[in-house]
Amino acid sequence: MNNQLVSKDYLVFILYLILVGSYGYWIYKRRKSKEHDSKAFFLAEGTLTWYAIGASLIASNISAEQFIGMSGNGFFVGIAVSAYEWIAAVALIIIAVWFMPIYLKNKIYTMPQFLKTRYNETVAMIMAILWLFIYIFVNLTSILFLGAIAIRGLLPNDGTDYLHIVMIALAVFAIFITLGGMKVIGFTDVIQVTVLIIGGLATSYFALNKIGGGTGIANGFSIMMKTAPEHFHMIFKKPTADTSQLDINKYLILPGILMYAAGQWIVNLNYWGCNQYITQRALGANLNTARTGLLFAALLKLIMPLIVMLPGIAAFVLVKQGNLHPLQKMDDAYSAVLGFLPAGLKGLSIAALTAAIVASLAGKVNSISTIYTLDIYRKYINKEASEKRLVWIGRIVALSAMIIAILFTWKDILGISSEGGFTYIQKYTGFISPGVFAMFILGMFWKRTTGAAAVVGVITGLVLCYFFNEKAPAVFGNETWLYTAFPNGHGGYEIPFLICMGLSFFFTVAIMVVVSLAGPKINPKAFELDKTMFKLKPQTIALIVIILMLLTALYVKFW
């Protein structure tokens, strides 16, 4: 195994940079007539095709936290972590069918705008600030840090610490793409996701071939399942007094069947349906294009575990076989497996990893600039701002957000490495997910929900999530009718954070319902819904059926 890059790898990587950069510049020149149109800049309104929307969704979603973090979780817990990818496919169906018609009918361009339209200015402002905080200090920082760590591990071992050089290079490349606006991001993401899939599949192919001793991937996969059978179960059993700490730690991350009762749905429906970073790609399209793009993304989600999870299990088996040195930490799994790729393909896989990181950074920064510019600057700072000024403010905010992310990741001030990348993001974004999803789901489909209930909901969701995650075992004990807390191996007890999210969501919804019952029977700001909004074309129904059949087969196989 050789983790170092050679001239062929550098050539492939440079060609990737030239291809993406040149294509992005060509797209930018084509849209130059709309260079100072804010909706064109932030939303690429009416120009993204269904495949560009679907590819951009995946390219923005699959980043360092998946390649590095999910491979790390694959190394530790196995295929069960694929639940995040496969349940996302169902979530995308739900959003395509029921959420997107409501957004597009009401001309929603940002998530704070949704909250203002449905509730009031106060709710919108609270959430705009909260989203900006989470996007910058949780998502942007972790993507940048994990990406720099991963790529650094594949550069020459000449005594130079390349971490900060890589960090700045990733940031500069992402900003270069971001400054062109959402259309440049969306269409360059078609290339990014193609490189991501080809490079990711190449990594999995050579890892499986190595496991099989050069006899092919089918035999390699068979050997992998026999060598690590515990890594091929989707559902973990609830720990007992005799359960090892290792298995308890796995359950804390993925708490068996219970996570499907609440936590997984909240994570995915909130992420894919109530998240500016994601929904922004579809909000500028017509309904049919948006739906097809979302469903295309759902299909791609079914194969993502082959790219972002399987290398982690492969690393576990390779260590067990003695073909790979023991890893210092689970997040090293993906970088370690890349060492088995031949010259040239290693460069392609690095390009795939870079594509994922850069696409996510660009998408996240664009969302930050969109929320700040359209929901804060234009509303509260300069209501008369010209289109040209709005675009330039968006660019300045994008650059500022990236600089802040670099400052906070320079010495890992936030402790991302100690948490484990994927868990860090899921846990801390999960603090606001229950309250946000409760606001959105009730706001869309229950006309009685009030603005006061929304304010109470976001605060309640945050407080309850913190309480269940950090304080509940000490206050109520480790075993109650609501939950079971388990030893975390550090002298304390924890409730699995997906269970915490579920409990927080249900209590938040209950409190919002009670508060809303004190208001009018129909909130004047409630959305008007009719059956025709949710009517599906035959080809859309067929695509949904295919996705659900494939998903069912996967769960039957690996339950």
DSSP 243-264: --HHHHHHHHHS-GGGGGTTHH
Q: How far apart are CA 371 and CA 393, in angstroms?
A: 11
The answer as to whether 75 is a domain residue is yes
DSSP 64-86: HIIIIIIHHHHHHT-GGGGHHHH
pLDDT at 502: 92
Name every residue whose Cβ is closer than 8 Å to that of residue 403 and which is 6 or more positions away in sequence: none
The answer as to whether 449 is a domain residue is no
DSSP 8-state code for residue 158 = S
For the stretch 186-211, pLDDT in tens is 666 677 677 777 877 888 888 888 89
Cβ–Cβ under 8 Å, residues 142 and 416: yes
The answer as to whether 488 is a domain residue is no
Cβ–Cβ under 8 Å, residues 146 and 423: no
- Residue-wise pLDDT tens for the chain (559 aa)? 555 667 787 888 788 778 777 777 776 676 554 544 555 555 545 567 888 888 878 877 777 667 777 888 888 888 998 998 999 999 999 999 999 999 999 888 878 888 989 999 888 888 888 888 888 888 888 888 877 877 776 676 666 777 788 888 888 878 877 766 656 666 666 776 777 778 778 888 888 888 988 888 889 899 989 998 989 998 888 998 888 998 898 898 888 888 888 788 998 998 888 887 677 777 777 899 999 999 999 999 998 888 888 998 999 999 888 888 888 777 778 878 877 878 777 777 777 777 778 777 887 888 888 888 888 888 888 888 887 888 888 888 888 999 998 998 887 777 666 655 556 676 677 788 899 999 999 999 999 999 999 999 989 999 999 999 889 999 999 999 999 999 988 888 999 988 999 999 999 999 999 999 998 888 889 988 888 889 999 999 999 999 999 999 999 988 8
Cβ–Cβ under 8 Å, residues 392 and 372: no
| Burial class of 176 by CB neighbour count within 10 A (0 to 12, 13 to 18, 19+) | middle
Cβ–Cβ under 8 Å, residues 321 and 211: yes
Can you give the CATH number for the domain in which 157 is found? 1.20.1730.10
Q: How far apart are CA 218 and CA 205, in angstroms?
A: 10
Name every residue whose Cβ is closer than 8 Å to that of residue 346 and which is 6 or more positions away in sequence: 5, 6, 9, 154, 338, 339
Domain count, the chain: 1
The answer as to whether 202 is a domain residue is yes
pLDDT at 335: 78
Between the alpha carbon of residue 348 and those of residues 5, 69, 166, 203, 555, the distances in Å are: 11, 20, 17, 9, 31
Q: Which domain holds residue 250?
A: 7-414
The answer as to whether 1 is a domain residue is no
The answer as to whether 183 is a domain residue is yes
Length reported for the chain? 559
The answer as to whether 379 is a domain residue is yes
| Burial class of 392 by CB neighbour count within 10 A (0 to 12, 13 to 18, 19+) | middle
pLDDT at 531: 84
pLDDT at 18: 80
Predicted TM-score of the model (pTM): 0.84
The answer as to whether 101 is a domain residue is yes
- Rg over alpha carbons for the chain, rounded to the nearest Å, is 23
| Burial class of 99 by CB neighbour count within 10 A (0 to 12, 13 to 18, 19+) | buried
Name every residue whose Cβ is closer than 8 Å to that of residue 104 and which is 6 or more positions away in sequence: 283, 286, 287, 290
Tokens of 59: 């390219």
Q: From the CB of residue 304, how many other CB atoms can be counted at a distance below 10 Å?
A: 24
The SS3 assignment for 448 reads: coil
